[in-house]
Amino acid sequence: MLTGLAALADTLAVASAVGVDRDAALELIKAGPLVGAVPRAVSKGAVFPVSLAERDMGLALAELGNAPAPVARATARALHDARDRSADLASIV
């Protein structure tokens, strides 16, 4: 889920850059491989702090060691760079 939300954030950034409305982009994304991330990204009732998500990603990366995992590593950076560490994970989207 963590990498899916990071991918969704990037996808929405590209959509915005080319002038696609966020809601329209989310509707289109629901038809693709990121469909599972959309409900979590727009959820208003979920509370899983960015700080805990970053911790979990760090544990996963530690298990990976030196294995190439560019998406996981980019997700870890996105979590690390989040402005509000106590905000829900969806805030990175």
Q: Is the pLDDT assigned to residue 56 strictly greater than 90?
A: yes
How far, in Å, CA of 52 to CA of 50, rounded?
5
How far, in Å, CA of 30 to CA of 85, rounded?
28
Q: What is the pLDDT of residues 66-91, one digit of tens each?
A: 999 999 999 999 999 999 999 999 99
Using pLDDT thresholds of 50, 70 and 90, give the confidence band for residue 44: confident
Main-chain dihedrals φ then ψ at residue 49, nearest 5 degrees: -60, 145
| Predicted structure pTM score | 0.83
Which structure tokens are listed for 58?
């760090």
How far, in Å, CA of 78 to CA of 65, rounded?
19
Q: Side chain identity at 18, as an amino acid letter?
A: V
